Structure 1
Amino acid sequence: MADRSIVMMSGLATRKAFDDHLFAAFTERTGVEIVPVYDPTVALLRRLDAGETFDVMIAATPSFDDLVARGVVAPGPRPIVRAGIGLAVARGAAHPAIGTTDEFVAALASARSVAYSQTGQSGIYFVELVTRLGLAHVVLPGATALEKGFTATALESGVADLAVQQLSELLYVAGAEIVGPFPDELQKWTEFSAGTAAASAGNADVAAFVEFLGSAEADEAYRLTALEPVSRVLTS
């Protein structure tokens, strides 16, 4: 480990951007190593309750309200990206039409098994969505419910033939192909922010890393990994 390091807890949505681009760029520039801890937001909150510590947390923006109120995170977490949800199939498999609500419903109803994450933002919403669409009794009994992790791994193993997750997470699995995002009328965007641990608020390296995560260089890495930089959303 480098002499200077930062512990970063993060949800999985931003992992590809960090692993493929941002960690190396930041460490090369500053000499500071990033030590990542990846888990869905719900699981990260459990880790904190169990006493784990961090310097920077990347998590769904609403989750910071309680952490700031409790004094765990310093005020003013910085929004950095938003992620949309999509469907994927195994590499080489036929892509069902999902451009409209009717097509999307038909694809889910005809699937042998749909994989989703029980603790991920996408999976929590997916269960709510199929219930609202009247599909819960059709889809959920045969679904492949992963506690956490990349749902598209269930496509590689053949356990499921459709996977639901944030588009950036589906992109992470080499044996999967993204069919596309949910139809606009069914889509749910999740915004992710970077929060600084209250105990690390005075650390210059931590402040520099959070600033870097909102930079134009970071925005390009987000776009390459199916994420939308919040800066682009705000100016579009």
Structure 2
Amino acid sequence: METVRMLSTLGLMGAMRSLASAFETATGIHVDADYAPTLALLKRLRAGEPADLVILTREGLDEMIGEGRVVADGAKDLARSYVGLAVRAGAAHPDIGSEAALRKTLLAARSIAYSRLGASGVYFAQLIVRMEIAAEINATATVVEQGFTAERLVTGEADLAVQQISELKQVEGIEVIGPIPHELQTPAVFSAGRIASAGHAAAADRLLRYLASPEVIPVLRQSGLEP
């Protein structure tokens, strides 16, 4: 069986689990997928890690195209993702519906888990600076190097977790409160492209066309992404 090696941002992990098996059933091509934050993947690609297809934030993909590592032709935007907040299952859902309510909720939290390497963590770090509450939040924050911030709710290390909604939804035992107010955020766009040095170029192109097709839309929506 032919195998396509795919490196993908964590934001697509939930959707890709079912999409990869559907693709394999339809085509007989196996998807060997590895998931990490975009900044970690950029580092690995620059170090020469071999792959056939990559899914990154649009900015990350554009950098790789600019460096000649990803083929510009055929690159596709797959989904849009909003940053949200979650609590442990059964906990009260605080109000985050406006900037004032969000500020109050963030300041009242014992500890907030957010990521250092992911797009959501970079955005959240800038947001709390803009809201002028960075010193207070970071004094008690649980900063996660990489992986799912909502796991820190289950262990009790934090009582609020911030990440892309599609990433929050990967963790059992938590509840997503909702997105940070849309006027406060620019959604991340996740985009895919074929690696210039791909050993399985035709199979990678086939997977890319499938991921950009209308039939995957319900799976993207279910995982917390907007097509």
Which TM class, normalised by the smaller chain length? Answer: over 0.9
What is aligned with 1:80? 78
Q: With structure 2 as the length reference, what TM-score do the two structures score?
A: 0.97
Aligned to 2:203: 205
Match of 2:169 among 154, 168, 171: 171
Q: CA deviation at 1:51?
A: 2.1
**Structure 1 unmatched ranges of 5 or more:** 230-236
1:79–1:194: 8 Å Cα contact kept in structure 2? yes
Matches within 5 A, 1:128-207: 128-200=126-198, 203-207=201-205
Q: Does 1:69 align with 2:66?
A: yes
Give the number of aligned pairs. 226
Question: Is the CA contact (8 Å cut-off) linking 1:201 and 1:207 kept in structure 2?
Answer: no
Is 1:22 matched with 2:15? no
Tell me, yes or no, if the aligned pair for 2:61 and 2:192 is still in contact at 8 Å.
no
Runs in 1 of length 4+ with deviation above 4 angstroms?
none
Per-residue deviation, 1:202: 7.3
- The alpha carbon displacement at 1:31 in A equals 0.6
Aligned-partner Cα distance in 1 for 2:65–2:206: 20
User: The residue matched to 2:176 in structure 1 has which SS?
Assistant: strand
Q: Percent identity?
A: 41
Partners of 1:181 and 1:187 within 8 A in 2: no
1:193 partner SS: strand
Please tell me the root mean square deviation across aligned C-alpha atoms, in Å. Answer: 1.1
CA distance in 2, matches of 1:48, 1:150: 22
1:106 aligns with one of 104, 107, 127: 104
Q: Counterpart amino acid of 2:45?
A: L
Q: Give the whole-Å Cα distance in 1 for the aligned partners of 2:67 and 2:183.
A: 36
Structure 1: distance between partners of 2:155 and 2:92? 17
Whether 1:50 and 2:44 are equivalent positions in the alignment is: no
Q: Is the 8 A contact 2:4 2:200 kept in 1?
A: no
Q: Which moved more, 1:200-209 or 1:100-109?
A: 200-209
Report the Cα distance in structure 1 between the residues aligned to 2:182 and 2:99, rounded to whole angstroms: 9
Contact preservation (8 Å) 2:142, 2:158 = yes
C-alpha offsets along residues 114-161 of structure 1, whole Å, 9 cap, x if unaligned?
000100000000000000100001101110000010000000000000
Deviation at 1:49, TM superposition (A): 2.3
Structure 1 residue 201, shift from structure 2 partner: 8.4
* 1:56-91 deviations in Å (ceiling 9; x for gaps): 100001112221122110113211101000000001
Helix, strand or coil at the partner of 2:5? strand
C-alpha contact (below 8 Å) 1:71/1:198 kept by paired residues: yes
- Given that 2:9 and 2:55 are in contact with CA atoms closer than 8 Å, whether structure 1 keeps it comes out as yes
Which residue in 2 is equivalent to 1:36? 33
Q: Secondary structure at the match of 1:158?
A: coil
1:29-72 deviations in whole A, cap 9, x for unaligned? 00111001100000001111222111110000111222112211
Q: Where does structure 2 lack aligned partners over 5 or more consecutive residues?
A: none
The corresponding residue for 1:95 is: 93
User: Does the residue aligned with 1:165 lie in a helix, a strand or coil?
Assistant: strand
Q: Could you tell me how far apart the structure 2 residues matched to 1:40 and 1:9 are?
A: 10
TM-score under structure 1 length normalisation: 0.93
What's the offset of the Cα at 1:187? 2.2
